[in-house]
Structure 1
């Protein structure tokens, strides 16, 4: 199981794509019916889809897996009575699988037989998405639900989040204890810490400063810098999160505390709490497909 992409709907995908390719640092991956696709340097055909819409919302967050994983997941989703529907992807890479609605409305898409592409060498692009984080009304309940039904594993709990993994990377998603459901942020994995810092410099050239960072997180131990994108969402430059073993001990909030006045391992950067909070409320979830009996 691997996190692949996020699909967003918004009023001006052309402007959003221009920022992501011209300033943030991504490569164009084609256009279909007005939807712009953007890729990184890795083998996934795209990392972000930007679909035209009168309103802004998260269409889906996409994972790729094998047939055995999909069959097991489909059976558990059906048994749990979650809202779901079979799907065939028309996005680059194709594939088919299952759309699943989590109890608080988060929409996840699981695909098999999705094609990959040749990596891009020699350009300062994100390698892939390292994680997509969601705000939750009940983060603990969401963590328990995806463990029991999707087969994910909780890696750590902090005062702010429940971190969840779908493979040996510490987290591919997390649920923030926000009191509402929406997209919290999208993290782009850069090649290394130097690539993160070059990204910060590139945005500084365009008079944009981090809303939080640079710093190093506790859970996952990744270096980060968060920005509020001009088209709305919170996006993050990140190094890879740490790899964890199957017997990794799940951390509790008391395991992740910092000295007074610090909010990460380094303690060198301020955080725009108010600005980030406003941005984190913008992209909600909206189902535009009808559930169908699984296996129909």
Structure 2
């Protein structure tokens, strides 16, 4: 079955472009790209395409997710599958307008988030070196987790783990998850956080020290998650988006797993029990108190 193969980019809405650019260039250590129409693009060092896009807007939030598809035939097949299931196709496959996008189609997920399906002009290819930096995953709030899981299954995602607080971790390649859903009882939608894989525990600790010395406070971490087993450290950008550095992500080499793992209430988010409680940005509060 044709499916998406990677989380290729996350596009963020930012009200203060200069502050956001300064953060991602100097604190987050990304390389600037060409951008287009007022946008600014960035790529992780060592990556062969832009994996972060900043879009000028009145307020912060998610503009879109960009998911990689390996072929034109696969792109058309996925769009047909979404339409046949009653999903919303926002734009048909067409030549991309951004650098690195050969063909792009857009669909809306169950919550209305824009999802761009991208056939790249240059495939990302395998990542045999775990220290290669790249955009690793994004987590979305959703008030309708079952419908969201069903939508992303149409794109080829499979569930790896679930938790007692209503999170589900979805994979589209050998990484334990490239997308996760956080269930909200209070109607929250959109981005909870985005995360960059930077290699292993030593890389995470080095970046933790470097970012702290650059004046950015860590809002959660360092710790190690249960689902995915990754070592983590979380920060905030100037617009309020939560961004994570992580390493040592678990991989799933088989296309199928015998049983989805479940993490009960004994799991507090950090199996080391040193990171403390998750930050306020991860609490399921009403939309009026929501951060991006």
- C-alpha contact (below 8 Å) 1:169/1:241 kept by paired residues: yes
Where does the alignment leave 5 or more consecutive residues of structure 1 unmatched? 119-124, 284-296
Match of 1:286 in 2: none
Where does the alignment leave 5 or more consecutive residues of structure 2 unmatched? 126-130
Match of 1:274 in 2: 280
Match of 1:248 in 2: 257
2:237 paired residue among 229, 249, 253:
229
Q: Secondary structure at the match of 2:111?
A: coil
2:46 paired residue among 34, 42, 65:
42
**Distance of 2:119 and 2:9 partners within structure 1:** 14
Is 1:95 the counterpart of 2:99? The answer is no
Once the two structures are overlaid, the 10-residue window that deviates more, 28-37 or 108-117, is 108-117
Match of 1:7 in 2: 11
Q: Secondary structure at the match of 1:194?
A: helix
**TM score, norm. by length of structure 2:** 0.85
- C-alpha contact (below 8 Å) 1:139/1:177 kept by paired residues: yes
**Distance of 2:278 and 2:239 partners within structure 1:** 17
CA offset at residue 3 of structure 1?
1.1
Per-residue CA shift, 1:210-244, capped at 9, x if unaligned?
Answer: 21111111111111111122221010001152111
- C-alpha contact (below 8 Å) 1:64/1:114 kept by paired residues: no
Match of 1:288 in 2: none
Q: Secondary structure at the match of 2:216?
A: coil
CA offset at residue 126 of structure 1?
6.8
2:162 paired residue among 157, 161, 179:
157
Match of 2:128 in 1: none
**Distance of 2:117 and 2:9 partners within structure 1:** 11
CA offset at residue 276 of structure 1?
4.2
**Distance of 1:2 and 1:229 partners within structure 2:** 24
- C-alpha contact (below 8 Å) 1:130/1:240 kept by paired residues: no
- C-alpha contact (below 8 Å) 1:213/1:271 kept by paired residues: no
- RMSD over equivalenced CA pairs, Å: 2.4
- Return closer, same or farther for 1:247/1:83 CA change in 2, 3 Å cut-off: closer
- C-alpha contact (below 8 Å) 1:26/1:126 kept by paired residues: no
Match of 2:196 in 1: 188
Q: Secondary structure at the match of 2:146?
A: helix
Q: Secondary structure at the match of 1:110?
A: strand
CA offset at residue 44 of structure 1?
3.3
Count of residue pairs the alignment pairs up? 273
Is 1:127 the counterpart of 2:133? The answer is yes
Q: Secondary structure at the match of 2:35?
A: strand
Per-residue CA shift, 1:223-279, capped at 9, x if unaligned?
Answer: 1111122221010001152111223234343x45536xx432111111353244479
Match of 2:33 in 1: 29
**Distance of 1:116 and 1:152 partners within structure 2:** 19
CA offset at residue 139 of structure 1?
1.7
Once the two structures are overlaid, the 10-residue window that deviates more, 167-176 or 83-92, is 83-92
CA offset at residue 165 of structure 1?
0.9
CA offset at residue 191 of structure 1?
2.5
**Distance of 1:251 and 1:6 partners within structure 2:** 27
**Distance of 1:196 and 1:251 partners within structure 2:** 28
CA offset at residue 41 of structure 1?
2.3
**TM score, norm. by length of structure 1:** 0.84
CA offset at residue 173 of structure 1?
0.2
